Structure 1
Amino acid sequence: MLEVHRTYQATIRNHSQVVESLDQHGWSASKLWNVANYHSRSVWEETGEIPDHEELKDELKTHPNYKGLHSQSSQRVLEELAEAFNSWYGSDDERDNPPGYRKENYYDDEGRRVHEEHPRSTVTWKQNGIRHDTKNNRVRLSKGANHKEHPRAREYILVEYETRPGVTVENLQQVRAVYDQSKERWELHLVCKDEIETPDAPGNETAGIDLGISNFAAVAYSTEDADLYPGNRLKQDGYYFPKEIANCDDSSGDRATRLHHKWSERRTHLFHSLAKHIVEKCIERGVGRINIGDLEGVRENENGNSKNWGKHGNLDLHGWAFDRFTSILEYKAKVKGIEVVEVSERDTSKTCCVCGREDESQRVERGLYVCEDCDAAYNADVNGAENIRL
């Protein structure tokens, strides 16, 4: 049996009845994030180390804002913050900043702060905070103690949901309440555990995938066929959205948040569509294994320093979410019985896939690879994909 987790997006049928409670919890999540963020920055300045989520929990579990959410929901906020700090600390891009505060300040004419507002952060309920009514498509979400009439009372938010036709929500593991800025309403993301029979592989053939920027993916098959998937849309988005976000007055304000959300949604949709199409093509060709280039360290040069490819090149390189795409492809392939293996890309771009001659000069111009020994001529990315496949 193969265990998979599926996330279903659901609309809230009784939105007018639950919006106030969801707003309160979304604001509470932002306030806890800010408290934990301040604490993390203070520890960082004093010790040079970033506290992990366990340290944050031990330090903040008695803080009043911790009780604004169910205990597991508060823990998830701290986990997300710790993950964000670790991602920033491990980044090789000097333009990256540590996680910001989730609030917007308002000032009077003399520059004094007179008001602050918090965005509605995503709130995650884990199993202990959920009761699922499968017959009536309802979930009971435990309230934080600060939002109960009595801290020990058993109070909850009863949310009626509706998914797309054909979806059965079973084995519910998590519920995420997500505020859609463009629609100005909440929605639910329902995370379910599913066990499926491990399918047989479609065949014994192997495909190779070379990930890149101009062509996001080149796929080579043992049938001597190949597919190219241009990266134009990703590049265009990678130029447009950072520029628009930089023009926002407040980097954590509503407009910047909407732009980040839209950019993320567009990229995720593209990755899912692309991965699905590649897996379908592999099934048609009897592929049981996909070799994909292991791009760990692609952003560093041989000295371990961040590569500098110029203004636009850096936007492409550092926004290159190959790890995210590889994870999506691996998941979609696994449920179809196809194994995904990351293999080294070393010398694949300068080696002829026909005769094996290795020479960087054989890539005579961008996009074209010509071998001086055997006269083979290939799209350069396809040549790399074929070497990864072999």
Structure 2
Amino acid sequence: MTELTKTLELKLVEPTAHKRRKLRETREAYQQALHDAFDADCTTQTEANDIVVEYDLSGYAKNALKQYVPQLTTTYNADELHDDHPVRFTNEGLRLDHKPENAIEWYIKIPHHEDYHLWMPAQPNPEQRDWLEALHAGDAEIGESRLFEREGTWYLHVTATRDVKDGSEVSADERTPIGVDIGEASLVTVCHRDDHGSPTAPELWADEGKTVRRLRKTYFTATRRLQTRGSERIADSIGDDLWNQIDDVFHRVTREVAEYAESVGNPVLVLEDLTHIRESMDYGEYMNRRLHGWGFAKLHAQIRYKAVESGIPVKTVNPRNTSKECHACGEVGYRPKQATFTCTNDACWVSEYQADVNGAINIADRYLSGESRSREHENDDDSAEDGARLTAPQDSHADADTQQETRGAYAS
């Protein structure tokens, strides 16, 4: 069995004027509490609690704020906040009801404040119906949810986790590990070894990497200029369009990664464990902006759930030095160019090698060496929930994070 986490998309169906007013009251109170706790530089849940406890919010929203604000100040190093964050609720706050006899089958309870909740009819993504049914039946666990409004329509994104059977009962030793390297030059690179141990069939999505870099550069340049002129609404519209284009690239590439894996006998996809990758990024302001906004976790999450839904197991390994070690001899080398790895061991047959392919092979080899490990940290999942959108307006496909400016970039 493999644990799979996914973000479920629900559109709230035509709320009454009263319910719209209550939703907006919740959003306004939440955003004010968020800004006040952030401006107070709260680095612990206790400090955040002292600020948010005074607001007219449900305990589920307050608890989500107490967890979120310290992340902003200690993990993401945010300098300032965007004005349109989704309202977060902890998992205890929501209830799902199913009325198959009704024209609108699904209903969701949204907390307003301590003694008042809103039952709302909801239209789910039809492709996620089985997940909703699993939640309702108790076969999946509900996680954090996020409420937001876009162009007059309200949405709720709910994180769900459940166990999915592996595609076959093949033992780990019989699996063919496919290393998956997520990078900036090549958006994704995959490679595995053949029966003789030689790297074979590498595939790189380098053109897609160029496309995403171009779209992101356009996004940052255009939105900054428009925000400087005070054209916030136009900036948001342009940002939504550009990030929808980026999101389309992400979904196509991750689908093709799953298809690549299906072409290999008894595959297992091996990814880097990205739990702490953002905290270790410190390459100067320019590179920090690019790397924090690259969407590592989002690609990681999409590859994971698309693979598992296809019956392909996914494992993670320690990412330390996967891009720096030579896949042939293990010597720590260097990268004179983004796409080139150079081995410093004169006795090694490798002198120069494609850097992303070298990294993908190292990732696969760590599975073979027994370094594959399960997720061990409390908040360590691969959902498009936390960190999955590091730099974008909220995403209709995967998660409800909205823009939040950080050190010249955006992070969620």
Scaled by the length of structure 2, the TM-score of the pair is 0.65
Aligned residues: 339
The root-mean-square deviation of aligned C-alpha atoms, in Å, is 4.1
Q: Secondary structure at the match of 1:8?
A: strand
Where in structure 2 are the equivalents of 1:239-254 lying within 5 Å? 239-249=217-227, 253-254=232-233
- Among 192, 204, 225, the residue aligned to 2:201: 225
Is structure 2 residue 9 aligned with structure 1 residue 9? yes
For the residue of structure 1 that corresponds to 2:213, the secondary structure is: helix
Distance 1:292 1:7, change over 3 A: closer
1:50–1:265 Cα change, 3 Å? farther
Please name the residue that 1:89 is paired with.
74
Amino acid at match of 1:200: S
Shift of 1:205: 0.9
Query: In the alignment, does 2:356 pair up with 1:381?
Result: yes
**Corresponding residue number in structure 2 for 1:75:** 63
CA deviation vs aligned residue, 1:117-172 (integer Å, no higher than 9, x gap) = xx684464855543513313131535635xxxxx96x7634325254368343225
Over residues 214-248 of structure 1, what are the superposed CA-to-partner deviations in whole Å (9 max), with x where a residue is unaligned? 11222112231110012112211221112222123
| Residues 1:331 and 1:210: Cα distance change in structure 2 (over 3 Å) | same
- Structure-1 separation of matches of 2:95 and 2:32: 25
What whole-Å deviation, never above 9, does each CA across 1:8-28 have from its counterpart, x for those lacking one? 334444x1x435523532343
How many angstroms apart in 2 are the aligned matches of 1:41 and 1:233? 36
Distance 1:158 1:60, change over 3 A: same
CA distance in 1, matches of 2:322, 2:92: 48
Is the Cα contact below 8 Å between 2:273 and 2:317 reproduced in 1?
Answer: yes
Residue 132 of structure 1 corresponds to: 97
Distance, in Å, in 2 between the alignment partners of 1:330 and 1:166 is 16
Sequence identity (%): 14
What is the distance in 2 between the residues matched to 1:289 and 1:377?
Answer: 28
Residues 285 and 247 of structure 1: is their aligned pair in 2 closer, same or farther, counting only changes over 3 Å?
same
Aligned CA distance change for structure 1 residues 155 and 7 (closer, same or farther; 3 Å) = closer
For residues 255 and 52 of structure 2, the distance between their equivalents in structure 1, rounded to whole angstroms, comes to: 43
Amino acid at match of 1:326: H
What letter matches 2:184 in structure 1? I
**In the alignment, structure 1 residue 22 sits paired with structure 2 residue 10:** no
1:215 is paired with a residue whose SS is coil
Partner of 2:376: none
Indicate the structure whose relative CO is greater, using CA pairs within 8 Å and at least 6 residues apart. Answer: 2
Task: Provide the secondary structure at the position in 1 that maps to 2:129.
Answer: coil
* Structure 2 gap segments, 5+ residues each: 137-141, 195-199, 366-412
Deviation at 1:267, TM superposition (A): 4.4
Q: Secondary structure at the match of 2:126?
A: coil
Cα distance between partner residues in 2 of 1:163 and 1:364: 46
Rounded to whole Å, the distance in 2 between the matches of 1:297 and 1:3 is: 20
Indicate which of 43, 46, 61 corresponds to 1:50. 43
Mark the CA change 1:204 to 1:60 in structure 2 (over 3 Å): closer, same or farther: closer
In the aligned structure 2, how far is the partner of 1:281 from the partner of 1:357? 27
Equivalent-residue separation in structure 1 for 2:23 and 2:349 (angstroms): 66
Paired amino acid for 2:30: L
Distance 1:337 1:127, change over 3 A: same
Note closer, same or farther for the CA distance 1:8–1:226 as it changes in structure 2 (3 Å cut).
Answer: same
TM superposition score normalised by structure 1:
0.68
Larger radius of gyration: 1
Residue 319 of structure 1 corresponds to 293
Gaps of 5+ in 1: 103-118, 146-150
Task: Determine helix, strand or coil for the equivalent of 2:227.
Answer: coil
